[in-house]
Amino acid sequence: MSRLDPTAARASIDKAKLAAWLLTATPGDSIAYWRGHLAFDIGWDSKLSTDDRRRLLGVAEAAAAMAQRGWVHLVQQRHGAGDCCYLAIARPQPPSAAAVLALVVAPDDPLGADDG
């Protein structure tokens, strides 16, 4: 199985890496896309910077969209209070590269920032 060290997930996963993993994953492969408490870590009281929260929310939304399309299962592995490893597990019938690419490059601003 293809796995990412959960402790590395905090800093290294973005939508592009998640998509690249999905395109090469075989059914049953898993990837950790976050470790912590996702709901708190994307909130306004988070200790993450706005850019990191925006990136994390983008990854979480991409993972949720992949699950809605039936490409992955999303699970949590609990390690303690407020400490979960968020995993995507590849399902059979992988998506086309074009479908994954469209998901990753879709314009979004999950925190509603006003850039102009």
Domain of residue 71, CATH code: 1.10.10
In a domain, 115, yes or no: no
Report in angstroms the alpha-carbon separations of 29 from 16, 22, 78.
Answer: 17, 9, 19
pLDDT by 10s per residue, the chain, length 116: 444 444 444 556 888 899 999 999 999 999 999 998 888 888 888 888 888 888 999 999 999 999 999 999 999 998 988 788 999 999 997 778 888 878 777 655 444 444 33
Q: What does pTM read for this prediction? A: 0.77
* Count of the separate structural domains present in the chain: 1
> What radius of gyration, in Å, describes the C-alpha atoms of the chain?
14
In a domain, 87, yes or no: yes
In a domain, 72, yes or no: yes
SS3 content of the chain, % helix, strand, coil (to 5): 40, 20, 35
| pLDDT at residue 107, as a whole number | 59
In a domain, 31, yes or no: yes
Contacts 24+ apart (CB under 8 A), 100-105: 100/19, 100/22, 100/23, 100/71, 101/19, 103/19, 103/62, 103/65, 103/66, 103/69, 104/15, 104/16, 104/18, 104/19, 104/62
Domain with 69 in it = 6-103
In a domain, 114, yes or no: no
In a domain, 108, yes or no: no
Find where tokens 């997930």 sit: 9
In a domain, 38, yes or no: yes
In a domain, 56, yes or no: yes
